[in-house]
């Protein structure tokens, strides 16, 4: 499985979340399979989006598309940092 870790600050979490939720079908069609949204402990507008994708290529194509650049602007995203990851191992302890 391939993963994407995105760390970014948003102007307003609630406004960002509405845009994020509206894009769910776009994300699914692009290849996102699961996701988690987390926040920094003391900064509710510092968001981490961790998601599993069908491929790194699909994820890059989606996140670098002009459509998503516009969606990020609409959502108030500031300087996203994208980290593309390939799973080496997983387990439960």
Task: Determine the Cα–Cα distance for residues 37 and 93; give it in Å rounded to an integer.
Answer: 23
Task: Determine the Cα–Cα distance for residues 2 and 24; give it in Å rounded to an integer.
Answer: 18
Mean predicted lDDT score pLDDT of the chain:
95
The tens digit of pLDDT for each residue in 10-28 reads 999 999 999 999 999 999 9
52 within a domain of the structure (yes/no):
yes
Task: Determine the Cα–Cα distance for residues 43 and 18; give it in Å rounded to an integer.
Answer: 19
- Quickly tell me which residue has 């870790």 as its tokens: 5
Task: Determine the Cα–Cα distance for residues 41 and 32; give it in Å rounded to an integer.
Answer: 26
58 within a domain of the structure (yes/no):
yes
The whole domain housing 51 covers: 2-85
What is the average pLDDT across 67-73?
Answer: 92
7 within a domain of the structure (yes/no):
yes
Determine the pLDDT at residue 50: 98
Query: What's the total number of domains in the chain?
Result: 1
Task: Determine the Cα–Cα distance for residues 64 and 31; give it in Å rounded to an integer.
Answer: 14
Q: What is the CATH number of the domain that holds 58?
A: 3.30.70.100
Q: Which two tokens stand for residue 64?
A: 């670098």
90 within a domain of the structure (yes/no):
no
Per-residue pLDDT at 1 exceeds 90? no
Determine the pLDDT at residue 79: 87
């Amino acid at each position: 499985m391939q993963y994407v870790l995105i760390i970014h600050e948003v102007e307003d979490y609630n406004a960002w979340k509405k845009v994020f939720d509206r894009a769910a079908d776009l994300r699914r069609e692009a290849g996102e399979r699961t996701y988690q949204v987390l926040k920094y402990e003391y900064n509710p507008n510092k968001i981490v989006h961790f998601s599993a994708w069908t491929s790194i290529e699909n994820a890059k194509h989606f996140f670098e598309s002009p459509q998503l650049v516009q969606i990020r602007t609409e959502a108030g995203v500031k300087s996203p940092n994208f980290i593309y990851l390939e799973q080496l191992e997983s387990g439960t302890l």
